[in-house]
Structure 1
Amino acid sequence: MAAAGKTPKKGAKSADDGTKVIATNRRARREYEILDTVEAGLVLRGSEVKSLRDAKVQLAEGFGRIKNGEAWLHAVHISPWISTGLHDRIDPERIRKLLLNKHEIERLGARQDQEHLTLVPLSIYFKGGRAKVELGLARGRKDWDKRQAIAQRDADREARKAMSRRMSGKDAV
């Protein structure tokens, strides 16, 4: 017997929203300070979708650019699908169009120009059967920033360990 109020409605989304992460850009989180994120659709050709579903993508060198009121994704490598013929081959590092609302493009373009920021792809995923890319508006970190972030993360980890030992009673006096 189903609990009251727990029956799913027809056409309702599942709890996980049908999101399947294909690739993440861990390097971007380390090399950049992410100030803002935005979700954008990705314009792909047929065999690129198959390659994405097979996780044949590299985001590490990728970046976004706003040009003539349109958003573009550069230097993201999507390997060609294995069974694609030579006449249907697509350049793996071609520039791909990003689908954003006009006001989002204007906002990102303005911040990018004024604050000297860059757009970096953080992850590519499928959401409801459509390819999406999470873009981060980011500022590059200097080497000392990276070392400082690592030291802060280590200090936080040590503090959490000490608190958990104290709470479990293993460090009792």
Structure 2
Amino acid sequence: MDIERIYINNNDMEIFSENKKAYFNYEIKEKFRAGVVLTGQEVKSIRLGRISLAGSYVVFKDSQIYLIGAKIPAYQPKNASANYNPERPRKLLLNKSEINYLIGKSSEKGLTLIPIKVYTENAKIKLEFGIARGKKKYDKKETIRKREDQREIDNELKIRG
């Protein structure tokens, strides 16, 4: 099975939002990218950087994949329709083979799909998400300890050098 992996080094790519807690709370095993079905005002709002991926996740419904919990406020709140829902489920655009691969992988015990960032690629808004396993509390503490140790080493080298 030939699944597209992400190797991004595009200079004209603009990142609108990152899920900063994703790498702290989860161990990302594999990354994927997908297009997102959006309305016009959602696109304008995202281009202004008004999107939050905090607490969002990716789920399967009827052999389709949806982004749940991402908050995209209305572009112009005064002109927004009365039934506009900033947290509505947004369909992700993937090939059938990719969807089947993700369904198989995410059905393994302890694995979930977590959005990592929203960015543009060739003027199209894309979502990068990953297959992830939740970290335990001791794993998070170990990550913090390593980061603090590295910070102390860097400070010592800066002072001496």
Once superposed, what is the RMSD of the aligned Cα atoms? Answer: 2.2
Look up the equivalent residue of 1:114 and give its one-letter code: E
Structure 2 residue aligned with 1:64: 58
Identity %: 33
Rg (Cα) greater in structure: 1
Alignment of 1:23-38 (within 5 A): 23-38=17-32
Look up the equivalent residue of 1:133 and give its one-letter code: L
Alignment of 1:18-97 (within 5 A): 18-82=12-76, 85-87=79-81, 90-97=84-91
1:114 aligns with 2:108: yes
Deviation (angstroms), 1:88:
7.1
> Structure 2: 5+ residue runs without aligned partners?
1-8
Answer whether contact 2:57 2:115 (CA < 8 A) is retained.
yes
Residues of 2 paired with 1:139 and 1:130: CA distance? 29
Deviation (angstroms), 1:70:
1.0
1:74-133 Cα offsets, whole Å, 9 max, x none, are 000000111663447531100000011111111111111123311111100111111101
Deviation (angstroms), 1:144:
1.3
- For this pair of structures, how many residues does the alignment match? 153
Answer whether contact 2:110 2:134 (CA < 8 A) is retained.
no
**Which moves more between the two structures, 44-53 or 15-24?**
15-24
